[in-house]
Chains A and B, each alone.
Chain A
Amino acid sequence: MKFPETLGQDPVVEAYKKHIDRTLIRENLKLTVEERFRNAMSLMRFADEMRRAGREARVKRKQ
């Protein structure tokens, strides 16, 4: 793809780009914007639940 002339390429950013998982981007681009927001909220709920479970497990281990 031709990069927009207004932005140009930055070699540092290009180096970082090699490590980007494009499969995730492609999957996200198949979704509607609302689906992307809903997925993010679902991930936030999952992250909250994992943090809660982790805290609970650490407390149990100390007992």
Chain B
Amino acid sequence: MTDFGALLTTLSRNKVEFMVIGGAAALAHGSARLTQDLDILYERSPENLARLVAAFKDTKPYLRGAPPGLPFLWDQATLARGINFTLKTSLGDIDLLGEMTGGGTYQDLKAGAITLTVFQTQCLCLSLQQLIRAKRATGRPKDLEALAELEAILEEDHLP
């Protein structure tokens, strides 16, 4: 099971620059849909990649769904070579995105994001409107129900 509190605390304690996106962000805004993993958008500077590596070094990160035994190394070079990573860790499942469809990068979205105070820590999270824009941009039929729920939340006068 994904321990949202432990994942967010680990990221914050290691001063990783990130924001919560996807299903977990929808959850934070009041969605009733269940999500199994934590999706984050992370900043891609070498310094932040090093912080990300440090944050998860003791959690046995491995590529989710990949066969065991692959030469997957959790280090800065691996992160620098890729952009998006879907990982299984001892704290639960986490997706690390360097870019998101319809949204852009951490730098693009940072100014419009909201700050969550949760599990005795603070982290950035997509605003409800950013989340809706991102879902619309993906254009996937499977996202239509989730999108309808997010717009209903907006209509229920949820702030911000």
Q: Which residues of B contact A28 (CB under 8 A)?
A: 30-32
Min CB gap B1→A, angstroms: 5
Q: How far does the alpha carbon of A36 sit from the alpha carbon of B132 in the complex, in Å? A: 19
Q: How far does the alpha carbon of A7 sit from the alpha carbon of B36 in the complex, in Å? A: 28
Q: Does B72 contact A (CB under 8 A)?
A: no
Q: Does B145 contact A (CB under 8 A)?
A: yes
Which of B4, B157, B158 touches A40 (beta carbons < 8 Å)? B4
Contact between A26 and B28, CB atoms less than 8 A apart: no
Q: Which residues of A contact B30 (CB under 8 A)?
A: 25, 28-29, 31, 36
| Size band of the interface chain B makes with A | 35 or more
Q: Does B75 contact A (CB under 8 A)?
A: no
- Return the CB mask of A36-60 against B: 1 if under 8 Å, else 0: 1100110111011000000000000
Contact between B129 and A6, CB atoms less than 8 A apart: yes
Contact between B5 and A37, CB atoms less than 8 A apart: yes
Q: Which residues of A contact B129 (CB under 8 A)?
A: 4, 6-7
Contact between B157 and A37, CB atoms less than 8 A apart: no
Contact between A41 and B1, CB atoms less than 8 A apart: yes
Q: A17-B152, A36-B28 in contact; A47/B144 too (CB < 8 A)? A: no
Q: Does B99 contact A (CB under 8 A)?
A: no
Contact between A37 and B156, CB atoms less than 8 A apart: no
Q: Does B34 contact A (CB under 8 A)?
A: yes
- Which residues 133-160 in B have Cβ within 8 Å of A in the complex? 133, 136, 144-145, 147-149, 151-158
Contact between A25 and B156, CB atoms less than 8 A apart: yes
Contact between A43 and B156, CB atoms less than 8 A apart: no
For A2, the closest partner residue in chain B by CB is B155
Q: Does B47 contact A (CB under 8 A)?
A: no
Chain B interfacial positions (CB closer than 8 Å to A):
1-5, 24, 27-28, 30-32, 34-36, 116-119, 129, 132-133, 136, 144-145, 147-149, 151-158
Chain A interfacial positions (CB closer than 8 Å to B):
1, 3-4, 6-7, 10, 12-14, 16-17, 19-22, 24-26, 28-29, 31, 33-34, 36-37, 40-41, 43-45, 47-48
Enumerate the 3 nearest inter-chain pairs by beta-carbon distance, A residue then B residue, closest first.
A16-B148, A24-B32, A28-B30
